[in-house]
C-alpha cells in the first residue's frame, strides 16, 4: 500500500539494491502502481520508500517503450532548468505544485554493469521526482511558494532565474 501524507515514514535512508533484489522489487512496485490506478489514483512513477521499502529503486511507467527502472541511480548532469507546473505525487493525493525541474538529465543506473542514459521532457521530470523520493526529498519540500504580491513584467522572476519575469515564467 502506498504511504499517504506521512512525511516521517517517507523520509527514510535508502540502501542500495542488490542484483537479486531487482526483479522482485520492480514487480512489487508495478503491482502497487497498478493497484493505485485501479483505485482511481493513477500514477506514472513509484519509488520504494513510498511503499515502505528503504531501497534505492523506483520505476517510471509512461507507457510503451517509455518505461525505466531506476536502480541505485544518480543524476550526473542536468540541463535547462524550468518551472514545471502541476506536479503531483501519489503520496500527497490532491496536492498539485509548481516546481523547478530540469528538462534534460544524464543519469547513471549503478548495479553490476552500470549504464548511463539521457532522459528529456516528461521522462526527465518523473525521474527527478522519483529520485527525490530516494533521497528523502518530498513534493512539499520543493514546491515553489506562491507569492501573493503582484509581479510586474520587469521584476525578477519568482523562480529565481534572475531573468525578468516577462522573459521567463511570464512568457505566454
Which residues are known to be catalytic?
Answer: 130
- Domain assignment present for residue 98? The answer is yes
- Domain assignment present for residue 41? The answer is yes
Query: Over the stretch 12-64, which tens digit does the pLDDT of each residue have?
Result: 999 999 999 999 999 999 999 999 999 999 999 999 999 999 999 999 999 88
- Domain assignment present for residue 67? The answer is yes
Residue 97 sits in which domain range? 7-167
- Domain assignment present for residue 108? The answer is yes
State the Cα–Cα distance between residues 160 and 150, nearest whole angstrom.
Answer: 16
Looking at 17-21, 135-139, 147-151, which range is the least confident one?
A: 147-151
Return the CA Rg of the chain: 17
Query: Over the stretch 126-135, which tens digit does the pLDDT of each residue have?
Result: 999 999 999 9
- Domain assignment present for residue 69? The answer is yes
Mean pLDDT, range 82-99, rounded to an integer: 95
- Residue given cell 520492480 in the structure block: 26
Instruction: Give the domain CATH number at 70.
Output: 3.90.45.10
Entry pTM: 0.83
Query: Over the stretch 96-123, which tens digit does the pLDDT of each residue have?
Result: 999 999 999 999 999 878 889 999 999 9
DSSP 87-132: E--TTSTT--EEEEEEEEEEEEE-SSS-EEEEEEHHHHHHHHHHHH
Q: Domain total for the chain?
A: 1
Write down the pLDDT at residue 97. 95
Amino acid at each position: 500500500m502506498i504511504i499517504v501524507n506521512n512525511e516521517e515514514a517517507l523520509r527514510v535512508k535508502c540502501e542500495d539494491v542488490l542484483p537479486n533484489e531487482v526483479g522482485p522489487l520492480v514487480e512489487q512496485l508495478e503491482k502497487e502502481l497498478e493497484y493505485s490506478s485501479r483505485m482511481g489514483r493513477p500514477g506514472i512513477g513509484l519509488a520504494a520508500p513510498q511503499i515502505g521499502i528503504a531501497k534505492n529503486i523506483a520505476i517510471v511507467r509512461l507507457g510503451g517503450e517509455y518505461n525505466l527502472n531506476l536502480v541505485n541511480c544518480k543524476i550526473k548532469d542536468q540541463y535547462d532548468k524550468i518551472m514545471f507546473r502541476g506536479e503531483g505525487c501519489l503520496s500527497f493525493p490532491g496536492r498539485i505544485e509548481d516546481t523547478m525541474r530540469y528538462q534534460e538529465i544524464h543519469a547513471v543506473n549503478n548495479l553490476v554493469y552500470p549504464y548511463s542514459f539521457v532522459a528529456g521532457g516528461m521522462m526527465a521530470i518523473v525521474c527527478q521526482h522519483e529520485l527525490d523520493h530516494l533521497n528523502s526529498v518530498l513534493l512539499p519540500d520543493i514546491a515553489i511558494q506562491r507569492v501573493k504580491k503582484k509581479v510586474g513584467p520587469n521584476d525578477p522572476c519568482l523562480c529565481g532565474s534572475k531573468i525578468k519575469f516577462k522573459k521567463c515564467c511570464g512568457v505566454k
